[in-house]
Structure 1
Amino acid sequence: MAERIRAAGHEVHTPDMYSGVVFGRLDEGLAFASRIGHDAIEEVARRAARQHPHADTAMGFSLGAFPAQLLAQEWKRIHNLVLVAGGLPPRDLGGDWRFDVRLSVHVADPDDWIPTGSLETLLHHARGPHVHRYPGIGHMFVDPSSPDYDADSADLFEERLLAWLDEGDLTHSHP
């Protein structure tokens, strides 16, 4: 995904949230994330943001949605946030939503991994969010290595994402 976004003309950084540790199964990755804790994941996200001082967009997939959202809430230079298969009430991340952040959300409909009401609370705080629901598919529908993968929905997601990013580039470069 990062390579395709780069090929479309966008700069992309992909921080390694787990310091090179790779998992063969999703449940192993989730167990590891649970062991290291949210504080460690948050620190990796903040470190990545410091390493890329000109980045103005954060994007997170599933478990990666919460650190991306955290950066959008904390860092004034983050003006765009893309959440795929995730999203939390702003207070769950210890802060308030910044109204100057453009928000694009892409979720399966329904998505059993997103607690009821979590996404709605976030959307209530965001100004003019772009929300895309993909009916009848699984949580990780954009990941070709997942059993949830749906090629048509993944293509539609990518098309919508690139259009939204291009729109943001135009808006940001011409205030």
Structure 2
Amino acid sequence: MAEILLFHHAHGLTEGLCSLADRLRAEGHTVHTPDVYAGLTFPSLDDGIAHAERIGHDAVLEVAARAAREHRRADVVLGFSMGTGPAQHLAQHLRRVRGCLLMGGASTTEMHGSSWRRNVALQVHVADPDDWCSADEVGALEREVPEAEIYRYRDKGHMFVDPTLRDYDADAADLFEDRLDDWLARLDAGRAEPSRVAL
């Protein structure tokens, strides 16, 4: 079973993400949910982004670094939108990380100051199109990490996985969770090659 650090999106650590963490715990995984917003959540994405900007990028990364120090056995990182930044940063710099899943965001490895570590499995999920994560950003990471599993969800909202948000799409969220479960199982089995789950 994996020990997971789950980093929330700009709305905060919503009930939807907490429910996902609880479901993964029920399956036997250990899941930690560092809260950059210290309990605050924002139904409005604009308000959430404004709060994140007040906190600052460095503070977001510091929360991630502190969580990694506190949970020294955590070896898988999941990031949602804003949380993809700290998740990808830890995956590139923390030697014990063996798997990184990005949902609703991606950036070049150069932005995090190092190349991708080839022993780290990478899975990326994005809406297609996505106003907050461009095809160019995803494509650049895909070229840098050709073994990555990239899933694009046509005509879905940016954060379609979270049932507490307006973007939620039940069918796409179920497919995302199926792919997440399959990926974690393959990580545990040491064979995180591209999934055969159909679009």
TM-score, scaled relative to structure 2: 0.82
Residue aligning to 1:96: 115
SS of corresponding position for 1:81: strand
Aligned mates of 2:180, 2:26 — CA distance in 1: 13
Report the counterpart of residue 111 of structure 1 in structure 2: 130
Report whether the alignment pairs 1:8 with 2:31: no
Query: Over aligned residue pairs, what C-alpha RMSD do you find?
Result: 1.3
Check the 8 A contact 1:102/1:127 in 2, yes or no: no
Give the total of aligned pairs: 172
Q: Does 1:25 align with 2:44?
A: yes
The alpha-carbon deviation at position 160 of structure 1 amounts to 0.7
Percent identical pairs in the alignment equals 51
Preserved CA contact (<8 Å) 1:81 1:104 = yes
1:66 is aligned to 85
Correspondent of 2:58 among 24, 39, 44: 39
Task: Point out the more displaced range, 44-53 or 85-94.
Answer: 85-94
Which whole-Å CA distance do the structure 2 matches of 1:14 and 1:136 have between them? 29
Helix, strand or coil: the match of 2:190?
A: helix
Opposite residue 144 of structure 2, the aligned amino acid is H
Who is 1:56 aligned against?
Answer: 75
- Deviations along 1:73-115, whole A, 9 cap, x unmatched? 1101011000001110111122222121100111111111113
Question: Given the alignment, which residue of 152, 156, 161 partners 1:133?
Answer: 152
Report if aligned partners of 1:5, 1:12 keep a CA contact under 8 Å in 2: yes
Matching residue of 1:84? 103
Matched residues in 2 for 1:23 and 1:141: separation? 16
Higher relative contact order (CA 8 A, sep 6+): 2
Q: 3-state SS of the aligned residue for 1:107?
A: strand
- The Cα of 1:64 is off from its aligned counterpart by 0.6
Q: Which runs of 5+ in 2 are unaligned?
A: 1-19, 192-199
Match of 1:143? 162
Q: Is the contact made by 1:99 and 1:127 (CA closer than 8 Å) also made in structure 2?
A: no
Question: What is the one-letter code of the residue matched to 1:2?
Answer: A
Does the 8 Å contact 2:91/2:99 carry over to 1?
Answer: yes
Instruction: Give, in whole Å, the separation in 2 of the partners of 1:165 and 1:24.
Output: 30
Which amino acid in the other structure matches residue 44 of structure 1? V
Q: Which amino acid aligns with 1:9?
A: G
The answer on whether the counterparts of 2:88 and 2:100 sit within 8 Å (CA) in structure 1 is yes
Per-residue CA deviation, residues 104-127 of structure 1 (Å, 9 max, x unaligned), is 111111111113411111111225
Tell me, in whole angstroms, the C-alpha distance in 2 between the residues paired with 1:112 and 1:140: 11
Aligned counterparts of 1:81 and 1:125: Cα–Cα separation in 2: 15
